[in-house]
Structure 1
């Protein structure tokens, strides 16, 4: 059971950077649609639990240390090659957004130039990624309880100090940027881009667990945990819709509303979360490039250096462009994962 909890915590920690820690992702994909966005969060949570469970189980069954074998199993040899390149692109795109978020949060809180903040995160990513996958999993799972407490504290503050009615706040929140023009489609795209961005890392993490059933339970724990945190954060953002309007990093802004000291603590936690997520994604990316004969360290260095240049476009712009595009392309992968689960289920019955 401990391995299941560790995998579940690692997924939540991984998702913290890619999917919801800044609040900007939750804002654009869920709560900017008002109350229907909460229904979207519930749907996303259930679907994500199923998909992560399946990916963990596949990784465990194959004992894989790179995503190419697992993707060929999921998609077949021909489509698998196409998806392999797409997932490599997804990994790179997600690292770009992580570095941009690191620079943006450092600038918003401490006035550090965005380019410098992103550069520091890039250098640390290259150095720490060489620690190995098991240490990365441990670090990701350790940050999860701290993350959960931070989100709950911000939510309690937001709900207890709101000075407008929810009907007024809903009108304000609907003026924020939206990922698509439909809340249900946004929920599906949210799942799609997150699964696409983390699939390579998830199958590798699943490969560290001997029993596929325990790996699958870890996926369910992680998916439901992410869904719960998204719902809590959505309520926090809704309660302060008038305060976060036009802000790049809503969670950091709200923490500063509480106190400058708490804001500084949240900045440190936010930077750690982004860094760990960037490390996890870079590990999977470098592991894939290694199969083309590129040494692990140089694959990581080349990937992160290129991602740093792209990150200079800006965090909010990248979230609005990269993630929806990944969501549309990643929908093909989701369909393949569902069929892979059916195959696994039939094999168990036989």
Structure 2
């Protein structure tokens, strides 16, 4: 299979997965809280990821973009695109803050360290990475994804063999979980929309650096399918062990630690890698919006933005996931609608050409 398409798929997944996804906190709030209906929600989200990934990658390659703002201008027009650019840039930074907070929670739960220690560790890694060239950043972001995929499969299989409550009890418990929307279908749409808003800038930049539309389109589809499968597996693992996960900031880590302390450490490393992938993607896109990558000004801006984010991240990971992400989701709905309309217009135009 096309090597570049696979690398792009892993990079797409790596930026989106992040701390909330890999830790299970996002899945818990957006899917598990709806019981069995949440499983249908994971399917809806996976289909949307595949469709949107293909369209964004294809468009970015065709336009040979250097920044996500060029794609927004095409989708929304000059004025509305500028507004979307400002809003998206603001929320991307919020997700970056959440990633530093997520590392703080991870290190606190696993090692008993103060949250600021984990956040500072991740901020330092992000800053060092942003001093590299763009190709190296893409390689690092995509490399972490297969590790997490293997860990999720192991944890899901283990969780299904260690269920110690009836299905009725687990479903009743799931309905008492805090959720982000009144209906599972809305939650699934919000989940796909805020995540595509998170992944969109990095996906656009990566795809814009290639001239092979077929490879980038395939990469977008494969990345979307991979995301859908991971969401489904994590959701099943959480749902069938919900009675043992009450109050856990990082549910998948709690499951892994129950399996074995060694597996818990491996999962800690996996989550750290995925938080790192998303954090790099967010701060890269944010800094690239204001400065040119691979310049001294870009590095200085990255250091400043990460330092401020470290301070803001002390608000707490769960709180940030429950507030920043749903708001970004509603912004992402506009992006989904614009991509869908653009796709329809292109298909309609092609049909008219063929009819002549």
Deviation of 1:6 after TM superposition, in Å, equals: 1.1
Q: Which runs of 5+ in 2 are unaligned?
A: none
Post-superposition Cα deviations, 1:297-348, rounded to whole Å, max 9, x if no partner, equal 1221222122212111001111111101111122112211112223444565
Match of 2:301 among 299, 313, 335: 299
Tell me the residue number matched to 1:337: 339
Deviation of 1:18 after TM superposition, in Å, equals: 5.7
TM-score when normalising by structure 2: 0.94
Deviation of 1:139 after TM superposition, in Å, equals: 1.9
Identify if the C-alpha distance between structure 1 residues 253 and 18 changes in structure 2 by more than 3 Å, giving closer, same or farther.
closer
Q: Which runs of 5+ in 1 are unaligned?
A: none
Aligned ranges for residues 243-282 of structure 1 at < 5 Å? 243-282=244-283
CA distance in 1, matches of 2:135, 2:56: 17
Number of equivalences: 350
CA distance in 1, matches of 2:24, 2:233: 11
Moved over 4 A (4+): 346-350
Q: Is the 8 A contact 2:34 2:184 kept in 1?
A: yes
Post-superposition Cα deviations, 1:183-242, rounded to whole Å, max 9, x if no partner, equal 111111101111112211110011122122221111110011100111111110011101
CA distance in 1, matches of 2:304, 2:348: 42
Q: Is the 8 A contact 1:48 1:195 kept in 2?
A: yes
Q: Is the 8 A contact 1:45 1:227 kept in 2?
A: yes
Tell me the residue number matched to 1:43: 44
Identify if the C-alpha distance between structure 1 residues 201 and 319 changes in structure 2 by more than 3 Å, giving closer, same or farther.
same
Tell me the residue number matched to 1:122: 123
Identify if the C-alpha distance between structure 1 residues 210 and 348 changes in structure 2 by more than 3 Å, giving closer, same or farther.
farther
Tell me the residue number matched to 2:325: 323
Aligned ranges for residues 50-129 of structure 1 at < 5 Å? 50-129=51-130
CA distance in 1, matches of 2:22, 2:97: 16
CA distance in 1, matches of 2:126, 2:111: 21
CA distance in 1, matches of 2:350, 2:272: 43
CA distance in 2, matches of 1:348, 1:10: 31
Post-superposition Cα deviations, 1:37-96, rounded to whole Å, max 9, x if no partner, equal 110110111012111111111111122221121211121111110011011012101101
Q: Is the 8 A contact 1:22 1:270 kept in 2?
A: yes
